[in-house]
Amino acid sequence: MTSILPLRAEGAELRFRGKLLVGPVDVSLGAKGVTIVLGPNGSGKTSLLRMLHGLECPSAGQVRWAVPMHETFEKQAFVFQSPIMMRRTVRDNLAYPLRLSGVARAEARDRADHWAARVGLQDALDRQATVLSGGEQQKLALARALIRDPQVLFLDEPCASLDGRATREIEETLVAAAAAGTRLVMSTHDMGQARRLADEVLFLLHGKVQAFGPARAFFDHPPSAQARAFIKGDIVE
């Protein structure tokens, strides 16, 4: 299988109505690992993820994959902070992306049942997705993204509104996905989660990349006063 990585942003900026949301960004994401995007509210984390994924086109600079952009669409996925549930059963929500890719109905349903069990939703297969709890919906959204075995998965604060148990279950699924070779790029406000999951950290402030490198070095030796304050939980302006 051809790898769509590395992913490189070169002088990439994203603007909205003339306002600079993030950038210029110069980073390169390799083929393996978990990149955690950190930064205070309004620092540009969501904008960065959307630009890297391709939901937003750079206003300047470029975002380049190892293959043409159209070849990445089936090999990457995005999990939003507030997932969108289709008005279908859990099984049909899971099977839908496979059916779009041409997978036969029987196989798609079998794989849907398998993934529902992996994320603890095996008893909810015939329930409407829209009536699930917040934690259940987030697990469904994660399984729906991973069921196509993407090479890269972007996640925008997937555990922001979840309790401890649901967060632990989501993290277990993410760790397993990373171990299986899925490249994860994820934003979070949870410093404990960042320490548990990150191989590398990208720290944003005012839309600028303030630090990008190995997680251990970032947490043990913060590269700036702002990063040190953020890690301590202080307000960073």
Q: Is the pLDDT of residue 1 over 80?
A: no
Buried b / exposed e across 145-158, counting CB within 10 Å, b at 16+? bbbbebbbbbbbbb
Q: What's the pLDDT score for residue 12?
A: 98
Per-residue model confidence (pLDDT) at position 237: 84
Sheet holding 7-16, edge to edge: 19-29, 7-16, 60-64
What pLDDT score was predicted for residue 227?
95
Residues 6+ apart with CB under 8 A from 8: 27, 28, 29, 63, 64
119 closest CA partner among 102, 132, 130: 132
Contact 215, 36 (CB under 8 A): yes
Query: What is the per-residue pLDDT for 158?
Result: 94
pLDDT in tens, 129-170: 999 999 999 999 999 999 999 999 999 999 988 889 989 999
Count of CA atoms in the C-beta half-sphere (13 A) of 225: 1
pTM: 0.96
**Beta strands, E only, 125-207:** 152-156, 183-187, 200-205
Question: What is the percentage of the chain residues whose pLDDT exceeds 70?
Answer: 100
Contacts of 14-18 with C-beta under 8 Å, sequence gap 24+, read 14/44, 14/47, 14/48, 14/50, 14/51, 14/56, 14/58, 14/59, 15/59, 15/60
**pLDDT beyond 80 at 74:** yes
Helices (H), 54-104: 90-100
Cα 148 to chain centroid, rounded:
15
Q: Do 227 and 218 touch, CB atoms closer than 8 A?
A: yes
Number of neighbouring beta carbons within 10 Å of residue 175? 14
Q: How confident is the model at residue 18 (pLDDT cuts 50, 70, 90)?
A: very high
pLDDT at position 160 is 87
pLDDT at residue 70, as a whole number: 92
Cα 142 to Cα 204: distance, rounded to the nearest angstrom: 25
d(CA 218, CA 212): 8
| Side-chain half-sphere CA neighbours of 223 within 13 A | 15
Domains in the chain, ordered, with CATH?
Answer: 7-79+152-232 (3.40.50.300)
Give per-residue pLDDT as tens, 183-217.
999 999 999 999 999 999 999 999 999 999 999 99
